[in-house]
Amino acid sequence: MESDVFDRKSTTCPIISDARYHLIIGLTLCWGFIINWWIVTHIETESISNINPWLFFLGYFASCFYGVYLFNKSRKPLVSFIGYNFVVVPFGLIVNLVVSQHDPDVVAEAIRVTGMVTIGMMCLGALFPVFFKKISGALTVALLLVIVVELIEVFIFGVHHEVLDWVVALIFCGYIGYDWGRACQIPKTVDNAIDSAAALYMDIINLFLRILRILGRK
C-alpha cells in the first residue's frame, strides 16, 4: 500500500464524483487561506518576532514535518485535515511576519497575481501532466540548489539577489502544475482531496511569498 499521497493508484475508500473532489480541494485551500488571514489580522507581529528565533524555527519545522507526515500517511480525512492544520498555522505565522513589512496595496497585488498564476498553472497541469512529471526531478534539484545558494549568500556574504526570488517563484509555478496534474490522476476520495489540497497549499503560499518579495522591491 502506497504511503505517499500521489503514489496511490488504488483505494478501499469510497470514490466521489469529480465535482465533489474538486470542491473539497477548493474548500480545504480556502480554509487554509482563511486561517492565514485570521493570523495576520488578529495576532500582533511583535508577539511573533519576540519569540526566540531558534525556538520559533524549531517549532515551525517540527509542526510542518509532523503535519506532512500525518496527511501523507493517513487514509482518514479527519486525521489528514488535522495534519493540514499543523502546516497551515506555522505558515500563517511566517506570512504574518512577511506581510507586515509591506504596504497593503502591494499585498493585495501579490494576492491577485498569485491567484491568476495559480489558476493558469493548474490549467497547464491538467492539460500536460506528463510534461510536469518529466520536469519534477529538475524542479526538486533546482529548489535544493537555490536554498543552498540563498543560505550561503545570506549567512556568509550578507546579501540576497533578486534573481533568486524569480527562480524560486518559477520553481513553485512548476510545482503547482505538477501537484495539480497528479491530484487529477489519483483515486478521487475525500482523503486524497484533502491531501492534494495540502500539497497545493504549500506550493501556493511559497509562490505568494516570493511574488510579494518581488513586488515589494518595486
Q: Show the domain range for 124.
A: 13-217
Whether 192 is in a domain gets the answer yes
Whether 33 is in a domain gets the answer yes
Summarize pLDDT for 79-123 with one digit per residue, the tens: 999 999 999 999 999 999 999 999 999 999 999 999 999 999 999
Whether 6 is in a domain gets the answer no
Whether 92 is in a domain gets the answer yes
Whether 1 is in a domain gets the answer no
CA distance 70 to 85: 10
Whether 85 is in a domain gets the answer yes
Instruction: Look over the chain and give the mean of its residue pLDDT values, rounded to a whole number.
Output: 94
CA distance 24 to 30: 10
Amino acid, res. 162:
E
Whether 8 is in a domain gets the answer no
Any idea of the CA torsion for 191, 197, 201, 203, to the nearest 10 degrees? 110
Amino acid, res. 4:
D
Whether 99 is in a domain gets the answer yes
Q: Model's pTM, two decimal places? A: 0.93
Q: How far is CA 45 from the centre of its chain?
A: 21
C-alpha cell at position 120: 493558469
DSSP three-state, residue 188: coil
Number of structural domains the chain divides into: 1
C-alpha cell at position 28: 480545504
> So what's the pLDDT on residue 99?
96
Q: What is the DSSP letter of 2?
A: -
Q: Is the pLDDT of residue 1 over 60?
A: no
> Sorting pLDDT into bands at 50, 70 and 90, what band is 10?
confident
Q: Which residue, 172, 165, 151, is CA-closest to 217?
A: 165
